[in-house]
C-alpha cells in the first residue's frame, strides 16, 4: 500500500510533522505564519511549507486530498502557565484548524493542544470542535498523553483530539516505554550542532546562586521541603538574616498556605497577630527589619513574602525527567544544567524534546528556544501517528 499522506497546520518548526514522517507518513503541505519557524522547517523537513495566516483559511484552494490533517494550534490562551483568558484571540485558531480540516475532507483529523483546553470555561472550545466534526460525519475521541511515559525525559502533558470517518471504534491504548532520564539524553553533546555551552560569569549573582542550588533543587521562598533553597539561604546575594528573622520567615511560609483567605493562588498574606502567635515573640520589630532588608512586603495590613515565584534556577536531576521545556530553557535564571553553572544549550533542550541531532536549529536565541519549546516532542508525535496508522487507516 502507498504511504498515507498528511497535511500540517500551525506546523511550527515541525515536531509533530517529524513524528508522522518517522512513522512512514508522506507530507504534502504545511502551513505556519512565523518566518523563523518556516525557515527551520524548510531546513529540516522540506520546502513544502508555506506562510499563511490560517485565521483566513488556506492561501489558495488546494487540489490536495490528504489522508490526514494534523494541527497544533497555539496553546498559550489555554495553558495554566499563562493568564488563561477565555477570549484570547489565539483560542479561536482551534476552530480555524477544524474548519480548514473539514474543507479538505481527510479520513482523519488530529488536533493537538494542552490539557487546559479540557476544563473550565475553555472547554467550550473543544466541545465546539467536537460538535463541528460530528456534524460533518466524523467520530471523535480525545486522548491524554504524558511525554515521560513515551521515552521523552520530560514531564509534558498534551491532549490529542482524533476525528475519523469510519464506523470503527478502536481502543486507543498506548503502551508505556522505558523511562529515559535527562542524564541519558545529555551524554556526548560535544561537537553536535547547536551545542554552545556558556557558563554564567564567575562571581556574578547568577553564579553565587547557582553554587547553592543542588540537583533537583530550585530557588523558592514559598516551599519548605528539601527541594527549595530560600533567598535567605544565600546571604551573599540577598542579605544576612538572624535566627528570629528566619524563624518568622519559616512560619510565614506555613501560615500563608494553611490559613487561607482566598480559594485561588499559592498562598495569602498573613496578619501580624497570627505571625506573633506562631513565632511566640513580638513579630513587629522582626517584620520591620525584614521589610527593610527586602524579604517581606506589606499587603494592606498584612505581610507576605516578597518573592512568591514557585521556583527559579531549577537544577535538572540527571536521574529524573525535566520539567516542561519552554522558551526560557536557555536562561540559567529559570533552568540550570544538572552539573554545570549555566542554562541548557539549544541541543540539550532539543534532545530533551526528543529531536535528533540531525535536526538543526538557527543561531542560539530566545526565538530558537521558543521553537523547541512550542514543538510537540517527535517521539510523542510518532506515538500518535502510529495510533492513526494502525487503528484508523489500516
Catalytic residues: 75
CA atoms within a 13 Å half-sphere pointing along the CA-CB vector of 224:
13
Neighbours of 150 (CB within 10 A): 22
Cβ neighbours of residue 340 closer than 8 Å, sequence gap 6 or more? 197, 199
Cβ neighbours of residue 287 closer than 8 Å, sequence gap 6 or more? 248, 272, 275, 296, 303
Cβ neighbours of residue 66 closer than 8 Å, sequence gap 6 or more? 5, 6, 7, 28, 29, 104, 106
351 close to 185: Cβ distance less than 8 angstroms: yes
DSSP code at position 66: -
CA 14 to chain centre: 16
Cβ neighbours of residue 169 closer than 8 Å, sequence gap 6 or more? 139
314-315/335-336 β-pairing: parallel
Amino acid at each position: 500500500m502507498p504511504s498515507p499522506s498528511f497535511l500540517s497546520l500551525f506546523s511550527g518548526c515541525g515536531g509533530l510533522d517529524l513524528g508522522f514522517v518517522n512513522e512512514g507518513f508522506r507530507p504534502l503541505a504545511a502551513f505556519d505564519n512565523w518566518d523563523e519557524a518556516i525557515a527551520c522547517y524548510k531546513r529540516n523537513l522540506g520546502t513544502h511549507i508555506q506562510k499563511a495566516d490560517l485565521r483566513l483559511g488556506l492561501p489558495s484552494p488546494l487540489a490536495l486530498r490528504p489522508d490526514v490533517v494534523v494541527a497544533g494550534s497555539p496553546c498559550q490562551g489555554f495553558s495554566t502557565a499563562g493568564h488563561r483568558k477565555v477570549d484570547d484571540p489565539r483560542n479561536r485558531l482551534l476552530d480555524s484548524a477544524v474548519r480548514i480540516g473539514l474543507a479538505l475532507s481527510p479520513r482523519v483529523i488530529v488536533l493537538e493542544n494542552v490539557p487546559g483546553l479540557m476544563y473550565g470555561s475553555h472547554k467550550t472550545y473543544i466541545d465546539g470542535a467536537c460538535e463541528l466534526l460530528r456534524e460533518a460525519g466524523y467520530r471523535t475521541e480525545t486522548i491524554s498523553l504524558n511525554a515521560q511515559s513515551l521515552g521523552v525525559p520530560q514531564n509534558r502533558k498534551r491532549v490529542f483530539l482524533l476525528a475519523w470517518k469510519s464506523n470503527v471504534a478502536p481502543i486507543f491504548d498506548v503502551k508505556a516505554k522505558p523511562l529515559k532520564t535527562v542524564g541519558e539524553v545529555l551524554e556526548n553533546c560535544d561537537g553536535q550542532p547547536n551545542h554552545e555551552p556558556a557558563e554564567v560569569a564567575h562571581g556574578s549573582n547568577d553564579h553565587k546562586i547557582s553554587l547553592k542550588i543542588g540537583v533537583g533543587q530550585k530557588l523558592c521562598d514559598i516551599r519548605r521541603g528539601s527541594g527549595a533553597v530560600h533567598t535567605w539561604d544565600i546571604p551573599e546575594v540577598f542579605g544576612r538574616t538572624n535566627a528570629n528573622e528566619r524563624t518568622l520567615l519559616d512560619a510565614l511560609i506555613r501560615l500563608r498556605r494553611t490559613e487561607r483567605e482566598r480559594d485561588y493562588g499559592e498562598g495569602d498574606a498573613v496578619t501580624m497577630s497570627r505571625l506573633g502567635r506562631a513565632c511566640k515573640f513580638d513579630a513587629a520589630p522582626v517584620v520591620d527589619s525584614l521589610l527593610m532588608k527586602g524579604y517581606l512586603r506589606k499587603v494592606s495590613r498584612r505581610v507576605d513574602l516578597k518573592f512568591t515565584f514557585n521556583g527559579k534556577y531549577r537544577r535538572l536531576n540527571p536521574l529524573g525527567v525535566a520539567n516542561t521545556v519552554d522558551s526560557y530553557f536557555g536562561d540559567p535564571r529559570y533552568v540550570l544544567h544538572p552539573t554545570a553553572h549555566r542554562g541548557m544549550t539549544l541541543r540539550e533542550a532539543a534532545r530533551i524534546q526528543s529531536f535528533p541531532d540531525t535536526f538543526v536549529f538557527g543561531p542560539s536565541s530566545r526565538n530558537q528556544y521558543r521553537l523547541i519549546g512550542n514543538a510537540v516532542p517527535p517521539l510523542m508525535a510518532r506515538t500518535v501517528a502510529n495510533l492513526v496508522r494502525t487503528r484508523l487507516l489500516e
